[in-house]
Structure 1
Amino acid sequence: MGNRGMEELIPLVNKLQDAFSSIGQSCHLDLPQIAVVGGQSAGKSSVLENFVGRDFLPRGSGIVTRRPLILQLIFSKTEYAEFLHCKSKKFTDFDEVRQEIEAETDRVTGTNKGISPVPINLRVYSPHVLNLTLIDLPGITKVPVGDQPPDIEYQIKDMILQFISRESSLILAVTPANMDLANSDALKLAKEVDPQGLRTIGVITKLDLMDEGTDARDVLENKLLPLRRGYIGVVNRSQKDIEGKKDIRAALAAERKFFLSHPAYRHMADRMGTPHLQKTLNQQLTNHIRESLPALRSKLQSQLLSLEKEVEEYKNFRPDDPTRKTKALLQMVQQFGVDFEKRIEGSGDQVDTLELSGGARINRIFHERFPFELVKMEFDEKDLRREISYAIKNIHGVRTGLFTPDMAFEAIVKKQIVKLKEPSLKCVDLVVSELATVIKKCAEKLSSYPRLREETERIVTTYIREREGRTKDQILLLIDIEQSYINTNHEDFIGFANAQQRSTQLNKKRAIPNQVVIRRGWLTINNISLMKGGSKEYWFVLTAESLSWYKDEEEKEKKYMLPLDNLKIRDVEKGFMSNKHVFAIFNTEQRNVYKDLRQIELACDSQEDVDSWKASFLRAENEDGAQENTFSMDPQLERQVETIRNLVDSYVAIINKSIRDLMPKTIMHLMINNTKAFIHHELLAYLYSSADQSSLMEESADQAQRRDDMLRMYHALKEALNIIGDISTSTVSTPVPPPVDDTWLQSTSSHSPTPQRRPVSSVHPPGRPPAVERSHTRPPLIPVPVGSQAPSQHPPFHPDLDPRACPASSLTALSPSPSVFYSLCSRRPPAAPSRPTIIRPAEPSLLD
């Protein structure tokens, strides 16, 4: 090939195949190789054995090759074979190679003719081979036998197409000479995936078994059913030769003698036979690899870039470095602290766009979940009024009270404050749960060292549990503080006078004397169209039985009343550029709720109002509709109850506001910030004291294997790129032969399944120029470069002489005009020696 770099190409492809297969991964590279395709008993395995010079493939009747065999032939001074699945063993006895192929095939497919697309990788080193990579594929069959499924024909076809569909694969289409070429399944499949014929090479076997008086000369000269790259004939050993243990080298000598002695083939003997086929395939595969180099280099670089990030932490790995474990431990703990802080505080890099995580979830607990839990804990209206009534009566005792006792107010308020403990402690539990999730996520980067990961999770989780106890104690202390002193001078507290006045007004406005109002307030109906007046604010009144809205808070002009039967509420997302918080009321039976609206969207000014209305609707569902104040018929007591009820409502709102503000601050200070400080400053010391450093930094077996695999792939890619980079672009290249008329392949696929053999005609095939006739005139010459001498006399032509002065493929494109000879008969590269070559007319040999 004229270049050492090019000679390394095929071994490079073999090396890449093994590197990627051994780590159980694919680099998604279509590595150039030759796929051998043909029908059952077409002689595919015999051709491969002739290449190797040894009997090593299973033989028998029916389907013998039941798994693809990737055969890598490598020139070497010593002869032996290696399997990828048992790479440590070298096979010098090729009978053992056959037995291993049979055993490995049966291991995957079973013993009763099953097939599998999982390949067997076999590498053969020998001084008798040229560098080649071939794939022996199962023979095309029609009828299932043994355990084969009914669709065995289609399964085998699909398997073959997987290998030959790749643009980087050359197709060796093997057809026996004693079969009608127009019926060749191999050529039909090749035509499906290679319609231009750029990748297909025809091989004709069993030339010695043709009927007496017939030959395949027209086929081998590419006159009949032509292929762009032509055909090469081979003669394999017969079954009798195989049974008689005929040596393959003797068979190759017999093949050579057959072509030299046969009158139809002797003029092309040097372009026939297994050695010529092997040399041609080596040249074609090398050219094919060279053509694939740009795309191959691009894919290798792409794979290398993607691997760079993964192997960055492995590239500087030194197992013998005594400080390696200490450095790794410090780095891991530092990275753990940085990750924890980023997940809590938020970060712009590696943002999760699928769900809330870390700090965002904790924020939602603080400002959505906890306020909602507080609202759910609000007092039940009936029970509260009853409790107030009993408190007033018990405080008065036997006396008839003239004034509203403030002690009743304090007793009820303290009882309501105690109820805040449950949602507050629940909030702490939710935050602890989120922190535990964050710790697990951060510890995933420590998976290389299982013991370190386990100890880190244990130590940090234990610390969080300790801080949880202190945080809960502090929160209970805050609630006890609120309970210890009722500050009626608070600026937001309505006071006794305002509470009494409000209670008088509400008593007057009550439309149904025996119906208790659960909630009142301003809401905006959000989804009324502009044609009907648009969004508008109304005064809403919620009772156990209905939701009504009025023009204003005087409740004189009622706009509408909705019975609560079958009504439910759900959240609605805030509109774009809207500062309102929205929820919707809908009917569970899919009826219109209001006029032609299936749901009413109601808007509040804050999320707290939305949560409060939700809780009020929950209470309304539990009401029985008979909200009669059965605890008293005394109007004066009712007025006192209503006054204290208003005072309690006002003061509990103040307490809730204070708790909602202090809870996040307390949890952040006592739990989250302390945990961050602990990880940064004390975690490393705890790790050193908990276990020995060597045991902590002991790698998992999976991680060590993964590191080795990744580094092996990384170095394989680097080595491949280095070798490809050294290849000279001025290497010898054989141009692609010109197109031929392949309508015969198209016609066979469109007609009956048993097309007739096309008769041999003296007329040249359609789309091709006439064959060169023997001439007695002086043939034209190749132009002689300056400084060279042309011979003065042409030697006489003899049909048995070797016509190697010009490749036969050049003659396929010749026309009678001498000018064509000027451009096509030399295939030396520009840098090759320019010895003149004489064109001698030869027998018509149209091998492409």
Structure 2
Amino acid sequence: MTPDTQLITVPVGDQPEDIEAQVYEMIQSFISNPNSLILAVSPANSDLATSEALKLARDVDPEGRRTLLVVSKLDLMDAGTDALEVLLGRVIPVRLGIIGVVNRSQHDINTQKSLEDSLRGEQAFLQRHYPSLAARCGSRYLARTLSRLLMHHIRDCLPELKSRVTALSGQYQARLSGYGQPVEDHSATLLQIVTKFASDYCNTIEGTPRYIQTTELCGGARICYIFHETFGRTLQSIDPLGGLTELDILTAIRNATGPRPALFVPEISFELLVKRQIKRLEEPSLRCVELVHEELQRIIQHCSSYSTQELLRFPKLHDSIVEVVTALLRKRLPVTNEMVHHLVAIELAYINTKHPDFSDAAQVSASVNSQQVVLLCLPSGLSDQACTPQLSGFLYFYAVLAVNSQGHFGLDGGKRWKNDRAVEERAPSSGFGSPSKGQAINLLDTALPPSRRLTTREQRDCEVIQRLIKSYFLIVRKSIQDSVPKAVMHFLVNFVKERLQSELVGQLYKQTLMHQLLVESADTAQQRDEVAHMLEALQKANNIISEIRETHLW
């Protein structure tokens, strides 16, 4: 019901300064409800065009379907005027009707005029001034009309109200079930919660949780992503020759030959350099372990928030479970890191140049003519019998690559090597150049000048080592990419899955801890009481609605 004539805008006496805003908000809170009826009261001795009651009603009910207009103070209108046009709905039409009434005067109140006398006086006034409308005006007719409108309005709103009450009852019943009943058997309750948490944790890893995330990867799906996307892409992005310059390779070759010039590239230089490259795989492997460990930590929060609602009742139990699982993960982290470190150390311990993939790759990389037979000949001055076709795998690859990369070597009648660059071989460059006149050679400067041009043989040696390193590095990278996820699953993920429940039971299932762990929070107990009262009120409302539907509506 909207107020008569004007809203309170100026605070009087001890009224608050914001009295106007409070009154307006209170009115809006009632009339905004689509299930409410609006009783707009406006005095007959004022212009309806300025009625605030009608204005507020029209804001929330533009078509006037829920509004009933009451024109009061019919007996106070100026002489010679009446409200007939207004009561007939010709000025402002309202769907539910317009009813005129005569209020009790202050004199009637002061003289303690009875209500029955006031009603008879109102009816007499209406018969004198509005005889055609007297039967449809007055306080008695207003009361009957309001009762009829209310009953019909309830009848129209009953189906929706019934649905809303039923839906709310279901929601509050679910909330009440989530809060659970007060704990009676502490032993059974604790064991049930711990078992359920361990099951939800393992199911999240396996991809069979009760609540599946739709916004981001979680649990086992994220671990799979770490293995095959994050870790895999990181390894694939590592350049086999990254950080390795030609100067580094030549320096390693020279240091491996000692005081004697080498006829072939020393195998020890290849091993030294390839180990340096393999060592770069250790850091991303350890980072993979760290990412999986972090995801296993996130699963704890996921299970606490979505899967095991009972933990919200017992904050101490929740904190204890988190502490136990975190300690278990923390204990397994160094073991897993050590195993991953061993996987890299194993690759560094033995460079298997007889690996089938390495041999095949070397042959494919080096052989341009697979039918060509290569003989290794010693320096000139020795007999042809000094040539032998029996070479080690590493030297054979080097010899084949040396011939194919130059394209100038061949056999003279199957006996001797011919070299189109005999002059270069007879007078090999020292690599430092001849000193100009007046320039002395610094005999203490043994480092390779980084800017000088490599000789043909140095370029060839670098290519040999680079191809070998790349071929073997790819083999080791493939092995690490396969073995690290397996190690993480065995030493960390599967270990935690298999021992999680036993660890929780062993740490928490103790008589001295049960009562402490199963103490409910004050908020949970209060919320349970509030939900229980609300559920009771909804059940009463449902009963009332059922009774109304069975009652005859006038």
Q: Which residue of 2 aligns with 1:478?
A: 343
Aligned to 2:163: 298
Cα distance between partner residues in 2 of 1:62 and 1:655: 85
Q: Structure 1 715/117 Cα, relative in aligned 2: closer, same or farther at 3 Å? A: farther
Q: What percentage of residue pairs aligned between the two structures are identical?
A: 37
**1:725 corresponds to which residue?**
546
**What is aligned with 1:799?**
none
Return the offset for 1:190.
4.8
Paired residues for 1:597-616 under 5 Å: none
Which residue does the alignment assign to 2:78? Answer: 211
Q: 1:450 aligns with which of 315, 326, 330?
A: 315
What residue is the counterpart of 1:663 in the other structure? 484
TM-score by length of 1: 0.50
Contact 2:240/2:277 (8 A) holds in 1:
yes
Separation in 2 of the partners of 1:457 and 1:463?
A: 10
Gaps of 5+ in 1: 1-34, 42-60, 66-98, 120-136, 138-158, 510-627, 734-848
| Residue 501, structure 1, aligned to residue 365, structure 2 | no
Residue 206 of structure 1, CA deviation: 1.8
Cα distance in 1, alignment partners of residues 89 and 139 from structure 2 = 18
Query: Residue 185 of structure 1: CA displacement?
Result: 5.1
TM-score by length of 2: 0.74
Is the alpha carbon distance of 1:113 and 1:334 closer, same or farther for their aligned partners in structure 2, counting shifts above 3 Å? Answer: same
Aligned to 2:233: 372
User: Aligned with 1:419: secondary structure?
Assistant: helix
- The amino acid that maps onto 1:677 is E
Per-residue Cα deviation, 1:666-697 (whole angstroms, up to 9, x for no partner): 10111111111222222122123597222222
Deviation per residue, 1:495-525 (Å, 9 max, x gap): 523455346555679xxxxxxxxxxxxxxxx
Q: 1:274 to 1:498 in 2, by over 3 A?
A: farther
- 1:201 aligned partner: 68
Change (3 A) 1:693 1:177: same
Change beyond 3 A, Cα 1:255–1:504 = farther
Equivalent-residue separation in structure 2 for 1:474 and 1:224 (angstroms): 91
Q: Which residue of the partner structure matches residue 256 of structure 1?
A: 119
User: Quick one: which of 27, 40, 65 aligns to 2:6?
Assistant: 40
Letter in 2 for 1:401: A
| Aligned counterparts of 1:117 and 1:692: Cα–Cα separation in 2 | 56
What is the letter of the counterpart of residue 490 of structure 2?
Answer: H
Distance 1:413 1:227 in 2: 94
Contact 2:65 2:96 in 1 (8 A): yes
For residue 465 of structure 2, what is the aligned residue in structure 1?
644
Stretch deviating more after TM superposition (181-190 or 169-178): 181-190
Letter in 2 for 1:281: L
Query: Are the aligned partners of 2:241 and 2:469 in contact in 1 as well (CA < 8 Å)?
Result: no
Contact 1:164 1:193 in 2 (8 A): yes
- Identify if the C-alpha distance between structure 1 residues 508 and 714 changes in structure 2 by more than 3 Å, giving closer, same or farther: farther
Query: Retained in 2: the 8 A contact 1:365–1:430?
Result: yes
CA distance 1:228–1:343, change in 2 (3 Å) = closer
CA pair 194-401 structure 1, distance change in 2 beyond 3 A: closer
1:556-610 CA-partner distances (Å, limit 9, x unpaired): xxxxxxxxxxxxxxxxxxxxxxxxxxxxxxxxxxxxxxxxxxxxxxxxxxxxxxx
Is 1:172 the counterpart of 2:62? The answer is no
User: Which residue is equivalent to 1:322?
Assistant: 184
List aligned pairs for 1:44-443, cutoff 5 A. Answer: 62=9, 106=16, 110-111=17-18, 113-115=20-22, 118-119=25-26, 137=27, 159=28, 163-164=30-31, 166-181=33-48, 184=51, 186-187=53-54, 190=57, 198-212=65-79, 214-216=81-83, 229-236=96-103, 246=110, 250=113, 252=115, 255-262=118-125, 264=128, 273-274=138-139, 277-314=142-179, 317-319=180-182, 321-323=183-185, 325-347=186-208, 350-380=211-241, 383-443=244-304
Change over 3 Å in CA distance of 1:702–1:393 after alignment to 2: same
Supply the AA of the counterpart residue of 1:396. Answer: T
* 3-state SS in 2 of match to 1:179: coil
- CA shift for structure 1 position 118: 4.6
1:202/1:404 CA distance change after superposition, 3 Å:
closer
> Would you tell me which structure has more strand in proportion to its own residues?
1
1:327 Cα deviation from its structure 2 partner: 3.9
- Mapped to 2, the partners of 1:433 and 1:228 lie a distance apart of 66
Q: Match for 2:184: what amino acid? A: P
Runs of at least 5 residues in structure 2 that lack an aligned partner in the other structure = 360-392, 409-448
Correspondence for 2:435: none
Q: Which amino acid aligns with 1:36?
A: T
Residue in 1 aligned with 2:364? none
Root mean square deviation, CA, Å = 3.7
Change (3 A) 1:297 1:377: same
Cα displacement string for residues 598-646 of structure 1 (whole angstroms, at most 9, x for unaligned residues): xxxxxxxxxxxxxxxxxxxxxxxxxxxxxx9757744334333322222
Distance 1:350 1:508, change over 3 A: farther
Rounded Cα–Cα distance in structure 2 between residues aligned with 1:64 and 1:282: 35
Q: 1:422, CA displacement in angstroms?
A: 1.5
Which one-letter code corresponds to 2:119 in the other structure? Answer: R
Return the index of the structure with the highest Cα Rg: 2
Measured against aligned partners, the alpha-carbon deviations of 1:143-188 in whole angstroms (never above 9, x if no partner) come to: xxxxxxxxxxxxxxxx4xx754654221212121212456655446
Distance between the aligned counterparts of 2:170 and 2:45, measured in 1? 53
Structure 2 distance, partners of 1:111, 1:193, is 23
2:438 corresponds to: none
Residue pair 1:304, 1:717 contacting (<8 A) in 2 also:
yes
User: What is the count of residue pairs matched by the alignment?
Assistant: 474
2:356 alignment counterpart: 491
* Cα distance in 1 for residues equivalent to 2:21 and 2:526: 33
